[in-house]
Structure 1
Amino acid sequence: MLLAAVVCILGGVLGSGVWIGEPVAEAAGGALSADATFLAPAGAAFSVWSVIYAALVVFTVWHTLPGRAADALARTVGWWAAASMVLNAVWLLSIQTSYLWLSILVILGLALVLGLLLVRANGVEGAGAGPVVVGVTFGLYLGWTSVATCANVAAVLVDAGVDPGRRVGELVGVGVLAVVCLLVWLLATRVGVARWAVVATVVWGLAWIAVGRLGDEPESLVVGVAAVVAAGASVLLTALASRTVRRS
């Protein structure tokens, strides 16, 4: 776990462009910049990574404390958590080296691993603060990854020359946002205490998509408003799912 965390943090430093390489928004010719597509969040959205990395550090400390080998929750999530950290670093490397199609496969794999981790963790007993640490850490991670996956796929398609035109592009953007809402609802019914952490970073990402489309290029009132509606719908669907789960 410690090795995976080190790889993840080093990948984050690489992705930030502090030492080598370029920031993600500038790498690969700016394919993932804030003005690349209708689904690109404004640049400030990516500050959420500092929160996610901090949570991953807390999780790693928790997971490596003495006695965790006997903790059912720690055993359940261990390898999945390590895999998610390594995949995050691989994703950043694929962007830095301009292997954009590979980045889609990696981020889809990352989202799948995080989803499986939280589904498996749901209902497993953990000692002390374990359930909260796991739920918050990987809920935030999965919520943001879900939004980033949509932005990543759109960016790679545009970079490859796919240009459906403004009207179709806006309609596709709205459709993708609707799918995000559906995904939030499905997760909310299956990931237990992590559901609110998931929706927190989903709403964060959608809000910054709205900011980007309503105040920056490419401007789109349709996608901007749809992102705001999707953010509100995500919160509502999570609340409804939470109530349904409590009653069942």
Structure 2
Amino acid sequence: MTTTQSTAPDTTGADRTRQVVVTLAEVFCVFGTLVGVGVIGTRVEESSGGALAADATLLAPLGPAFSIWSVIYAGLAAYTVWQWLPSSTADLRARRTGWPAAASMVLNAAWLLVTQQGWLWASVVVIVALVVVLGVLVQRLTDLGPAPSLVQRVVVDGTFGLYLGWVAVATCANVTATLVEEGVETSTLVGELVAAAVIAVVVAVAALVVARTGPRWTFAAAAAWGLAWIAVGRLTDEPASTLVGAVAAVAAAAVLGITARAAVRR
């Protein structure tokens, strides 16, 4: 039996605190986004000396890949509103996800702000922390059981599944960009092989997530989306690499295949 509601009488203050913190985190996230898209700062692809541009490394997804952020940000805004609904105030899912959700939004904004300063190693620390927080959040959703409504499936499970899937791929791109900025050569065959190995790690991470949390299609779709755009970037843009492009394409299909297999077995 899945428990989705809590009726504990003495938690009103804690619930209100959580709602306020989630809202403040969302406001901070919006501020960071405005900085990252260049409205009140420098666009991410132009910050840090261009180290995070779509053509900077072998593992950088091509530009259109980043449109997924529009969906994630819309989901985070909807999640913040959902936290304030009377039916959600004391909901166990709201209580269990509110704090890690707020932390993820703060870390998102923090990443955008540190890249403005060119602090690439700091950005690696932040994005790794973001992956961990999102992993904890998605695991909590799994432990709580299936979402009891379509709204929760879309706003909660859908949003954070996409978020985790995309950030898992972005973490590898971030680490690679940092290493390249430090002078690590990736234009040789060795560099291509290392990039291919990193892509294999993404698939392994996806398999682990599926094993622990079940077949979450939003997670798989976001991870496959990022890998597919790495493939397109390497096959059609600079730096060109047929090897990395092919491996990324296979990896995208593999993530979807792993998820489909888990869904069939379940």
Please say if 1:13 is aligned against 2:38: no
Query: Residues 62-115 of structure 1: CA distance to partner in whole angstroms, max 9, x if unpaired?
Result: 111114232111111010000000000000001011111000000000000001
Structure 1 residues 17 and 154: alpha-carbon distance in aligned structure 2, compared to 1, 3 A threshold: same
Query: Partners in 2 of 1:206 and 1:235 — Cα distance?
Result: 11
Query: Partners in 1 of 2:80 and 2:35 — Cα distance?
Result: 20
User: What amino acid is aligned across from residue 9 of structure 1 in structure 2?
Assistant: V
In structure 2, the partner of 1:115 is: 135
Query: Is the CA contact 2:101–2:137 (under 8 Å) kept in the aligned structure 1?
Result: yes
* CA-CA distance at 1:123 after TM superposition: 3.5
Query: Partners in 1 of 2:112 and 2:154 — Cα distance?
Result: 28
Moved more, 104-113 or 157-166: 157-166
1:39 match: secondary structure: coil
Moved more, 104-113 or 195-204: 195-204
1:86 maps to which of 88, 102, 106: 106
- Where structure 2 has 5 or more consecutive residues not aligned to the other structure, the ranges are 1-21
User: What amino acid is aligned across from residue 133 of structure 2 in structure 1?
Assistant: V
1:89 match: secondary structure: helix
1:31 maps to which of 38, 43, 51: 51
- Where structure 1 has 5 or more consecutive residues not aligned to the other structure, the ranges are none
In structure 2, the partner of 1:212 is: 233
2:64 maps to which of 26, 39, 44: 44
In structure 2, the partner of 1:70 is: 90
Identity %: 55
In the superposition, the TM-score normalised over structure 1's length comes to 0.94
Query: Partners in 2 of 1:127 and 1:38 — Cα distance?
Result: 42
User: What amino acid is aligned across from residue 104 of structure 1 in structure 2?
Assistant: V
1:143 match: secondary structure: helix
* CA-CA distance at 1:243 after TM superposition: 2.9
Query: Is the CA contact 2:224–2:255 (under 8 Å) kept in the aligned structure 1?
Result: yes
* CA-CA distance at 1:164 after TM superposition: 5.4
Q: CA RMSD in A?
A: 1.4
User: What amino acid is aligned across from residue 182 of structure 1 in structure 2?
Assistant: A
Query: Partners in 1 of 2:54 and 2:89 — Cα distance?
Result: 43
Query: Is the CA contact 2:28–2:109 (under 8 Å) kept in the aligned structure 1?
Result: yes
Query: Residues 203-232 of structure 1: CA distance to partner in whole angstroms, max 9, x if unpaired?
Result: 111111011100111100000011110011
Query: Residues 167-219 of structure 1: CA distance to partner in whole angstroms, max 9, x if unpaired?
Result: 111101111111111111111122246x1001111111111101110011110
Query: Residues 31-57 of structure 1: CA distance to partner in whole angstroms, max 9, x if unpaired?
Result: 001111110111111111111101111
In structure 2, the partner of 1:233 is: 254
Query: Residues 117-171 of structure 1: CA distance to partner in whole angstroms, max 9, x if unpaired?
Result: 0001114155533244211000000111011100000000000111255111110
Question: For this pair of structures, how many residues does the alignment match?
Answer: 243
The runs of 4+ residues in structure 1 deviating greater than 6 Å are none
Query: Partners in 2 of 1:130 and 1:211 — Cα distance?
Result: 33
